[in-house]
Amino acid sequence: MRTARIVEVEAYLGGRDPASHAYRGPTPRTAPMFGPPGRSYVYFVYGMYHCLNVVTESDGVAGAVLLRGAEPLAGFEAVEPSALAGPGKLARGFGLTTEHTNLDLVRSILTIRDAPTVPTWRVARSVRVGLNEHATTNKPWRLYVRGSSGVSRT
């Protein structure tokens, strides 16, 4: 089993967030974002990368958190500490594809477990990265563990 510690995330909302895939209403691809919380939303971009999100809002309300970086803990054979630093690399490291969208993250082959609380002083905030200017909100909706090797380069 492969395990890793999540160290970088970004929040995406629904109708009020122009950067969100849910901005213009549900589509077959984004349906999980409008579903019940605690499930996965995996999408394919740039013809070669997958990204993993955790659906967060109640059923019928769009909202998700993009997992952008993690530190490998176990199950990864001889990988660099930065192997999961970045949303595309994280999904690839876990072998995720669109087959893994809409999975129950509490009980399925893909789960998220509780972990020791990260001290507030280790958490940094910033604006989200990788968005086109038109969609940027300039809200500090990216959170990451300061100094972690699992944080994507920006």
Partner DNA sequence: CGAATGATCCGA
Partner DNA sequence: CGGATCATTCGA
What tokens appear for 10 in the block? 């970004």
Under the binding rule (CB under 7 A), the answer on residue 87 touching DNA is yes
Cα(127)–Cα(142) distance, rounded to whole angstroms?
Answer: 6
The site map against DNA for 13-32 (x = CB under 7 A) is ------xxxx-x--xxxx--
Please tell me whether residue 112 binds DNA under the rule CB under 7 A: no
In angstroms, the CA 92 to CA 35 distance is 24
Query: In sequence order, which residues have a C-beta less than 8 Å from that of residue 20 and are 6 or more positions away?
Result: 12, 13, 14, 33, 62, 64
Residue 7 in contact with DNA, rule: CB under 7 A: no
Question: How far apart are the C-alpha atoms of 116 and 43, rounded to whole Å?
Answer: 29
93 sits near DNA (criterion: CB under 7 A): no
Check binding of 71 to DNA (CB under 7 A).
Answer: no
Judged by the rule CB under 7 A, the positions of this chain that interact with DNA are: 10, 12, 19-22, 24, 27-30, 33, 41, 44-49, 51, 53, 64, 66, 68, 86-90, 98, 128-132, 135, 152
